Each structure stands twice: as structure tokens, then as C-alpha cells.
Amino acid sequence: MIGVDLGGTKLLGGVVDEHLEVHARVLREVHGFKQADVIETAVSAVKELRDSVPDVEAVGFGIPCLIDQTTGIAVIAVNLDLQDVPFRDIMTERLGLPVFMDNDGNVATLVETRFGAARGASDVVGLTIGTGIGGGLVLNDRLYRGHWGAGAELGHMVVDEDGPRCQGNCPNRGCLEAVASGTALGREGMIAAEEEPESELGQALSGDQKITGALVTTLALGGDEVSRMVIGHVGRQLGVGLSSICNIFNPEVIVIGGGAMAAGDLLLEPAREELRARGLPPSRDQVRVVPAKFGPEAGMLGAAVMAFDELHLAAEAA
């Protein structure tokens, strides 16, 4: 299968076999792209992969988007210029292969449940923390998509009704994504840099460096206390969301992935502490909050696993 992780800033694709071995990869930038360019980039990337490994059966896409699974329409994406696009039909026509699509959080959770950090668990929640926050649910061993495919948008549950505006196309305020994503980490880092000019973070700002979540993380891992405080604050905000997730779903495992996980336990330990303080027993005491196994390739691998599953189901139905 070809698995494609089409994110808010990048596209990562790969040719993946049933043992999760990757035979070829392609990486493309899509940050700021208009809809037509996003589609063309996806088509070009898949064709390049197919040329390198011709024996491909189908393509799976993981997209940070609300998806109508009944029609294959990408309804709306918060951090990507896709809206009311018949994505599955377009890709099927352009690529000449069976095409399957799902939310990127769903596919990342699927591969972590099957092969990764939550292997063996039957009730799993996944969060991918990057530009935004994607969510995925595996409940009773089955991927949960909701009534028509738009479920598990966990990054858009409100944790602070008076919080900062969410980003992109989300109309809300105080979403988990608005306060605990990589974007939020950069925003909080900027505030801290202005308030603490003598810190390494403040000096980076005075040296005209762009304050991003990645920079905050790098400085924190290097020992900058202000950067560590910023990550701790964002981690606690994450923990507020985790406590609600835990109370609602009573999962065995919550898997946290995405670029923000470069901060490791600097982010996760405050989140775990907040979960323990706010969650209800016994869920809060039994759930494991763990880093994802597959890192930045989770979406790509998960999209391929999803395609294997869907092709198998289609064959059974026929």
C-alpha cells in the first residue's frame, strides 16, 4: 500500500508492506498551499512513490479533516485548505488505484493500537500534537468514526470557554488545540520571552529568532528554566483535556504523538499530574499515558494500515 500523511505543513508518503516495512518515502511541503496545489502535490507524491515501487494495490490518505465516509468528501480542515472536496473520487480518477481516506488522528491511533505503544489494548485514545491536535479512538477493538465519519475531533473540545481563539477554520475559543498544540507552545513561548528578556528564550527573541514550539522545546531540553516553565504550563493544559477524555471513555491507554512529543516527559509528566488531580477514579488511576512509538511516521504508516483493512473489507463484501 501507499500511505500518505497529508498534514497542515507537510506531506509524508511511503510504500508500506503488511509487516510495516517502508520501501520508499517522499516528503513534500504543503504549508500555506491553496486547495488545488494541495491536491496536485498529493497526486505528484503518490505517482513518484508508485514509479519507485510499482507493485501497489491501493492508497490510503490520513488527512487533518472532517471526512464524510459515505461520500468520500473532505468536508473541512482547520489547518489545511480543503473544503467540500470530493477527495476520494478525485484521487481515484487521477491515480487509477483504489483510494481510502480517514482522519489523520484516526489512522495514527490505529497503527499505535495494532503495532505500537498501545498494542494489546482494546480501548485506546490517540492524540497527535503538532500544528493542531488530532484525535483518534479505538473502542472495543474497533476504530470509532462517529455517525458519518467526523468523530473523534478531540482537539476541538473546549477546555476554557474564555480561552484564546482556535486556529484556522475552527470558530471556537479555548479548544484543547488552542491551548496545548505546538502552535500554542510557540505562542506561550513568545509571551514568556517578552516577559523574561534575560532568559535564553528572551535572548533568542532579541536576536530576531522566531519563537516556535520547536525552539521552546530545544531550549528547554538544554536547561532553560523559562522554556521548561512554558512546556509545563502547556502540559498542564493538555492534562485538563486528558482528564475529560479519561472520564468519558475510560481508556486503557492514551497515546500521545506528533512533533510536540520531542519535549517528552517535560510535557507528559505535568499532563499526567493534572489528569490524576482532575480525573475520576478508577479511570484516572488505571489509564496509561504513553508516548507514541512511531513518531512522525505514525500518520503515514497508519494510512497504509487503514488501506489494508479497507481493501480486505471490500474484498470480503464482494
| Predicted confidence (pLDDT) at residue 104 exceeds the cutoff of 80 | yes
| Predicted confidence (pLDDT) at residue 318 exceeds the cutoff of 80 | no
Q: What is the pLDDT of residue 148?
A: 85
Mean of the per-residue pLDDT values of the chain: 94
| Predicted confidence (pLDDT) at residue 229 exceeds the cutoff of 80 | yes
Q: What is the pLDDT of residue 315?
A: 81
Q: Looking at this protein, which amino acid is placed at residue 29?
A: E
- 245-280: per-residue pLDDT in tens? 999 999 999 999 988 999 999 999 999 999 999 999
What residue ranges in 20-64 does DSSP mark as E strands? 22-29, 59-63
User: Which one is predicted more confidently, 142 or 275?
Assistant: 275
Q: What is the pLDDT of residue 22?
A: 97
Percent of the chain with pLDDT over 70: 100
**What distance in Å separates the CA atoms of residue 61 and residue 108, rounded to the nearest whole number?**
11
Q: What mean pLDDT do residues 107-135 have?
A: 94
Closest CA to 301 of 17, 31, 11, 10: 17
Q: What mean pLDDT do residues 39-61 have?
A: 96
The answer to whether domain 2-104+296-317 and domain 117-292 are alike in fold is: yes
Q: What mean pLDDT do residues 201-218 have?
A: 95
Q: What is the pLDDT of residue 86?
A: 97
Query: Going by C-beta distance under 8 Å and a sequence separation of 6 or more, which residues neighbour residue 215?
Result: 186, 189, 201, 204, 209
Q: What mean pLDDT do residues 13-37 have?
A: 95
CB contact at 8 A, 310 and 67? no
Q: What is the pLDDT of residue 131?
A: 84
User: What burial letters (b/e) apply to 247-282, b meaning 16+ CB within 10 Å?
Assistant: eebbbbbbbbbbbbbbbeebbbebbbebbbebbeee
Q: Identify the CATH homologous superfamily for domain 2-104+296-317.
A: ATPase, nucleotide binding domain (3.30.420.40)
Percent of the chain with pLDDT over 90: 86
**What distance in Å separates the CA atoms of residue 194 and residue 215, rounded to the nearest whole number?**
15
Q: What mean pLDDT do residues 293-309 have?
A: 94
What are the boundaries of each domain within the chain?
2-104+296-317, 117-292
**What distance in Å separates the CA atoms of residue 82 and residue 62, rounded to the nearest whole number?**
13
Q: What confidence category does residue 209 fall into, taking pLDDT thresholds of 50, 70 and 90?
A: very high
- Three-class secondary structure of residue 138 per DSSP: strand
Q: Which residue has the cell 519535549?
A: 263
CB contact at 8 A, 39 and 2? no
Q: What is the pLDDT of residue 169?
A: 82
CB contact at 8 A, 189 and 213? yes
pTM for the whole thing?
A: 0.91
Q: What is the pLDDT of residue 289?
A: 98
Q: What is the pLDDT of residue 173?
A: 96
Q: Identify the CATH homologous superfamily for domain 117-292.
A: ATPase, nucleotide binding domain (3.30.420.40)
Altogether, the residues listed in the chain come to a count of 318
- Which DSSP string corresponds to 201-251? HHHHHHTT----HHHHHHHHHTT-HHHHHHHHHHHHHHHHHHHHHHHHH--
Closest CA to 182 of 96, 257, 285: 257
Q: What mean pLDDT do residues 56-81 have?
A: 92
Q: What is the CA radius of gyration of the chain?
A: 19
Q: What mean pLDDT do residues 41-70 have?
A: 94
| Predicted confidence (pLDDT) at residue 9 exceeds the cutoff of 90 | no
Q: What is the pLDDT of residue 30?
A: 94
